[in-house]
Amino acid sequence: MKARNSLALISSLILLSLSAASAAESNDELSKAAVFLEEGFSHLGLSPREVTADFSGHGLAGAFTPVTALVTDNLLDVVTRFAGVENRLASFDTPEQYFRWSLDLLGFSCPQPGELKMPGGMKTVADSLDRLFPGAGGSLAGLVEADRLIRQAYRKLTPAEIEELKGYIKDFPFWQDQWPGFPVERMITLSRRVDLAWLWASALTAAGISAHLQKIVKKSTRIQGKQGSAREEFLLALDSPWGAVIVGGAQKNEYRQKCLLILDLGGDDCYEIPPADWPSVSMIIDLEGSDSYEAGQGRALGGAHFGLSWLEDHQGEDTYRGASFCLGAAALGAGVLIDYKGNDSYQGGPMSQGASFFGLGMLADFEGDDHYEVTFGGQAACFAGGAGLLIELDGNDVYSAGGVYPDWRTPGATKSFAQGSAAGLRPFGAGGTALLYDRAGADRYEIDYFGQGAGYWGGCGMLVDSRGDDSYSSGRYAQGCGLHKAFGLLADGAGSDSYTLGGVGQGAGEDLAYGILLEGWGDDAYRAGWMARGAGGTGGVGLLLEISGDDNYETAGKAADGYGSRTWELSGLGFLIDCLGDDFYGNRPIQSQVVRSGTWGASLDMPLGM
Amino acid sequence: MVSAGIPQRAEAGVSLAELVEQAGTPKVFYAEPQRRDSLIAILAENGRANPEELLRCLDTPWALHFEVVRRALESIGDGARQAVIAELQQKADPRYCASLLAVFEKLGLPGDEWIADSYLKSGQRSSIIPAVRCLAGFGRFEQSSRLLEPLLADSSAHVRLATVWALGNICLRDSQIRPDAQLQDRIRSLLSDPLPQLRYQAAETLKIISGEGVKVPVPLKGVR
């Protein structure tokens, strides 16, 4: 009877995870962006309702992305939709709400979990866990259900095709521009048969299990008596058909194997976890201590190829290091890393820290001044399908990406594809959705080529920062940049920010794409090279909308500051609209002025919304 | 071994496809322009005798490979033009034909307008747009405007935009051209098109036609 009640409780927690979010809408300047945009456009003899990035009528093949609809939407609708995003994201306070938001964005409906049943093979282990923490054993039935749900995602693939696909993605060089000799088309064809909604269902189920376990363990009056002694390695260590279940005490523990569940009560622990093999569901919950996490071979510690990998750390100054597909990253699976407290350090190889390829990758850090470093494709990055999310709710954070994989367009340049970067694998796999959301703190964002709210080949890449005096620095293709039927957005709500860019961005759309930079309140400084600050090319649309503050625009390079250029018949449109404040352009004060940059673009600086 | 800047015959056994692959790697294409150009010169030299084989290399998903082949065909010149015309007359796979038309835009000559005709009437936008660009590239006014005029009322905004732009480009090449009143009226009707780019382009084309000599904005290069 007790066991049945426990399973019902977990079921209700899972269903709570799956239910819709109610988000309060506040009313700051960014949310009024559409009003400013309409008023600004009225001075240009043009309505933003008439402007659209992709009028070609050609889609990109099989894009798993909201971009197909976004780029054909008019500019006013797009800005209206995304101006509210910052408020909505700011109102969330649980990882599940961000999961659900990404699910809504992708347009999936989430399958419901089945009734939880404790399988015979798990009963002994569950009873042992119950003896340690009454009611906790039922969570194992939840993990078995998460396993069942994630297997549903692959039901349209044969075992041989799964093996084939695993072989393709194992060492796939995402950082290359083209892949002659590699069966990319086949890899994409097979990947498209993965039913992504089930990955979210599995992850949300894991969120419910985690909430249940925390509640029980943290409230347990027996926890003090269950911390173990220095000689006692684990409070519980049992095998099950789904993997080992380990409970570690409050002393320092070392974990070196992949498990179904590791629950650690405290101590400065060391995790060195090898890659997981299919079928794979794993969950690690560490409640206290400054821990060291290492996944030298990748595919562990909140990272997976196929399967679900969940890592949750509640306290302490933690260090995370790993290779590919770890620390909240997944290919054809779900990888989640949640860190609740402490000043943490994250170092990752390519495709880590909120990265995805046809999957769900999420890194969420709730508190502390954190430091993120990734070589390529991370800190919210997604290729071709699914979503890569990095959620940072508080602290002065540093994000750095790139430095390893050359971009041959410029000597010494490297590819970053990070910090809200979504890219298709051109030309076979269009799409991908990525969001880096940072709610508070004075943050520093650094990349080389591509990112900070950038979309490429059907990708939808977003960086949203709510508050704080932030600095953004990048080489090219960044800070609200869309390339080739894609969508790139950088939205910064409040704070005096500085933007530095080599070229192509700060609201630049190239080739039937949208690139948008929305800036709310604060005295901001802009430095840019060419094709920036509201620039559209080859049919693309670029917009920099600066709502308020005394801003400084250093003299930019060619094709900048509300500039549209044309290739063939494809004329791009570029708009720079600065609404309020006393602004300087190249050290000259400017106000109440409209400048047309050729036929296809305009910059406007005048008091709007008064 | 290929010396930078010096066109050479490739060693025996090195196929055109292999040369394309060598020149079309991002490292060579962007960071080693002399080597790239040398490989393209060899490719053109080897493809000159049999441009049909080189044309088949256009059927590639990789943008840099396509660009390498396009440049080699351009440097071959008329032999490549003849081969492209022959292939376009076959009306093979639409994707391949779209690639051929993209190359033909630079290779075609006044008098080649007829080759675009069937593609303009194909109903497939993937073929119509490159065919319109061909006429913008080399078409004579009388022959081209007859083919293009019906497309000014096409249901696709992209086709309408390409058409009005192409007419402006053609008129820009010859300041003596004065389209008849009917064509001018049709272009004028696009001044109220819902797509602003089309309105601007129609205005620009009308200015060119009226002889005011408006300079067409230079396309931005290198943003890829």
The distance of A538 to chain B (nearest Cα, Å) reads 8
Burial level of A224, CB count in 10 A (0-12/13-18/19+)? exposed
Same domain, yes or no: B136 and B213: yes
Residue from A502, A582, A574 nearest A544 by CA: A574
**Residue A377 in domain:** no
**Residue B99 in domain:** no
Cβ–Cβ gap A428/B30 under 8 Å = no
How many residues in total does chain A contain?
Answer: 610
Most A CBs within 10 Å, among B124, B197, B198, B206, to test the A interface = B197
Specify the higher pLDDT residue, A103 or A536: A536
Write out chain B residues lying below 8 Å of A570, CB-based.
161
Same domain, yes or no: B20 and B83: yes
The residue from A340, A372, A404 where one domain ends is A372
The residue from B57, B90, B123 where one domain ends is B90
Quote the number of domains for chain B.
Answer: 2
In this structure, the number of other CB atoms found within 10 A of the CB of residue A5 comes to 11
**Residue A20 in domain:** no
Cβ–Cβ gap B157/A565 under 8 Å = no
Q: Residue A443 — φ and ψ, nearest 5°?
A: -110, 155
**Residue A8 in domain:** no
**Residue B101 in domain:** no
Of A55, A598, A599, Cβ closest to residue B158: A55
Please state the rounded mean pLDDT for residues A359-378. Answer: 98
Cβ–Cβ gap A55/B64 under 8 Å = no
Whether B135 contacts B147, CB under 8 Å:
yes
The distance of A420 to chain B (nearest Cα, Å) reads 20
**Residue B102 in domain:** no
Please state the rounded mean pLDDT for residues A30-53. Answer: 90
Per-residue model confidence as pLDDT tens digits over A145-176: 999 999 999 999 999 999 999 999 998 999 99
Write out chain B residues lying below 8 Å of A406, CB-based.
27
**Residue A509 in domain:** yes
A337 touching B (Cβ < 8 Å): no
Of B30, B201, B218, Cβ closest to residue A571: B201
Cβ–Cβ gap A408/B158 under 8 Å = no
Same domain, yes or no: A344 and A444: no
What local confidence, expressed as pLDDT, does residue A30 receive?
81
Position A586 pLDDT exceeds 90: no
pLDDT band per the 50, 70, 90 thresholds, residue A425: very high
Same domain, yes or no: A71 and A162: no
Q: By percentage, how much of chain A surpasses pLDDT 70?
A: 91
Lowest mean pLDDT, pick from A47-51, A111-115, A125-129: A111-115
**Cα-only R_g, chain B:** 19
Lowest mean pLDDT, pick from A101-110, A283-292, A391-400, B162-171: A101-110
Interface predicted TM-score (ipTM) of this complex, two decimals: 0.89
The span from the CA of A509 to the CA of A600, in Å, is 13
The span from the CA of B88 to the CA of A406, in Å, is 39
Whether A507 contacts A535, CB under 8 Å:
yes
Same domain, yes or no: B54 and B119: no
Please state the rounded mean pLDDT for residues A446-450. Answer: 98
The span from the CA of A130 to the CA of A536, in Å, is 61
Looking at this protein, which amino acid is placed at residue A443?
Answer: D
What local confidence, expressed as pLDDT, does residue B88 receive?
95
**SS3 (DSSP) at A234:** strand
The residue from B90, B121, B137 where one domain ends is B90
Same domain, yes or no: B77 and B131: no
What local confidence, expressed as pLDDT, does residue B209 receive?
86
Same domain, yes or no: A339 and A476: no
Same domain, yes or no: A402 and A298: no
Same domain, yes or no: B55 and B135: no
What local confidence, expressed as pLDDT, does residue A16 receive?
53
Same domain, yes or no: B23 and B78: yes
A427 touching B (Cβ < 8 Å): yes
Question: Hey, what's the torsion of the CAs at A137, A98, A433, A205, to 10 degrees?
Answer: 20
Position A552 pLDDT exceeds 60: yes
Please state the rounded mean pLDDT for residues A192-215. Answer: 94
Assign 3-state DSSP to chain A and report helix, strand, coil percentages, each to 5.
20, 35, 45
What local confidence, expressed as pLDDT, does residue A18 receive?
52
Minimal-distance CA residue of chain A relative to B161: A569
B217 touching A (Cβ < 8 Å): yes
The span from the CA of B106 to the CA of A439, in Å, is 52
In this structure, the number of other CB atoms found within 10 A of the CB of residue A225 comes to 8
Specify the higher pLDDT residue, A19 or A207: A207
Quote the number of domains for chain A.
Answer: 2
Of B30, B64, B161, Cβ closest to residue A569: B161
Residues 193-212 on B with a CB inside 8 Å of A are 194-197, 200-201, 204
Q: How does DSSP assign A3-59, residue by residue?
A: HHHHHHHHHHHHHHHHSPP-------TGGGHHHHHHHHHHTTT--TTT-BS--S-PP
Residues 45-64 on A with a CB inside 8 Å of B are 46, 50-52, 55-58
Cβ–Cβ gap A569/B162 under 8 Å = yes
B51: part of which helix (H) or strand (E)?
helix B51-56
Residue from A473, A522, A519, A532 nearest A499 by CA: A473
Same domain, yes or no: A154 and A298: yes
**Residue B223 in domain:** no
The distance of A502 to chain B (nearest Cα, Å) reads 13
Same domain, yes or no: B114 and B85: no
Cβ–Cβ gap A408/B217 under 8 Å = no
Cβ–Cβ gap A566/B65 under 8 Å = no
Same domain, yes or no: A174 and A86: no
Of B132, B196, B216, Cβ closest to residue A46: B196
Same domain, yes or no: A81 and A158: no
Of B62, B125, B194, Cβ closest to residue A50: B194
Please state the rounded mean pLDDT for residues B107-131. Answer: 95
The span from the CA of A457 to the CA of A455, in Å, is 7
Q: By percentage, how much of chain A surpasses pLDDT 90?
A: 76
pLDDT band per the 50, 70, 90 thresholds, residue B91: confident
A and B: number of Cβ contacts within 8 A: 101
Per-residue model confidence as pLDDT tens digits over A454-508: 999 999 999 999 999 999 999 999 999 999 999 999 999 999 999 999 999 999 9
Same domain, yes or no: A417 and A333: no
A277 touching B (Cβ < 8 Å): no
Same domain, yes or no: B118 and B197: yes
Of B61, B132, B194, Cβ closest to residue A427: B61
Cβ–Cβ gap A569/B166 under 8 Å = yes
Cβ–Cβ gap B26/A600 under 8 Å = no
B62 touching A (Cβ < 8 Å): yes
What local confidence, expressed as pLDDT, does residue A415 receive?
98
The span from the CA of A272 to the CA of A172, in Å, is 24
- What domain range includes position A496? 30-93+393-610
Residue with the two structure tokens 């695993």:
A166
Same domain, yes or no: A287 and A184: yes
pLDDT band per the 50, 70, 90 thresholds, residue B173: confident
Residue from A597, A603, A528 nearest A564 by CA: A597
B63 touching A (Cβ < 8 Å): yes
The span from the CA of B103 to the CA of B139, in Å, is 15
**Residue A288 in domain:** yes
**Residue A343 in domain:** yes
The span from the CA of A347 to the CA of A338, in Å, is 15
**Residue B7 in domain:** no
Tell me the whole-structure pTM to 2 decimals.
Answer: 0.93
**Residue B95 in domain:** no
Most B CBs within 10 Å, among A182, A185, A569, to test the B interface = A569
Position B5 pLDDT exceeds 90: no
B132 touching A (Cβ < 8 Å): yes
Whether B151 contacts B139, CB under 8 Å:
no
Of B30, B196, B197, Cβ closest to residue A409: B30
Burial level of B56, CB count in 10 A (0-12/13-18/19+)? middle
Please state the rounded mean pLDDT for residues B182-191. Answer: 92
Residue from A568, A562, A565, A566 nearest A590 by CA: A562
Cβ–Cβ gap B219/A568 under 8 Å = yes
Same domain, yes or no: B72 and B120: no
DSSP E strand boundaries for A178-322: 234-238, 245-248, 254-255, 261-264, 270-272, 281-286, 292-295, 303-305, 308-313, 319-322
Whether A94 contacts A501, CB under 8 Å:
no
Per-residue model confidence as pLDDT tens digits over A302-316: 999 999 999 999 999
Please state the rounded mean pLDDT for residues B188-196. Answer: 91
Same domain, yes or no: A483 and A608: yes
Same domain, yes or no: B67 and B146: no
What local confidence, expressed as pLDDT, does residue A61 receive?
64
**Residue B30 in domain:** yes
Same domain, yes or no: A427 and A527: yes
Position B78 pLDDT exceeds 80: yes
Cβ–Cβ gap A56/B158 under 8 Å = yes
Same domain, yes or no: B115 and B194: yes
A571 touching B (Cβ < 8 Å): yes
pLDDT band per the 50, 70, 90 thresholds, residue B178: confident
Same domain, yes or no: B132 and B172: yes
What local confidence, expressed as pLDDT, does residue A69 receive?
78
B165 touching A (Cβ < 8 Å): yes
Cβ–Cβ gap B63/A409 under 8 Å = no
CATH of the domain at B197: 1.25.10.10
B156 touching A (Cβ < 8 Å): yes
Same domain, yes or no: A305 and A158: yes
How confident is the prediction for chain A on average, in pLDDT?
91
- What domain range includes position B66? 14-90
The residue from A339, A372, A405 where one domain ends is A372
Paired with A449 in beta bridges are: A415, A476
The distance of B215 to chain A (nearest Cα, Å) reads 10
Q: How far is CA B85 from CA B51, B91, B109, B133, in A?
A: 12, 10, 11, 16
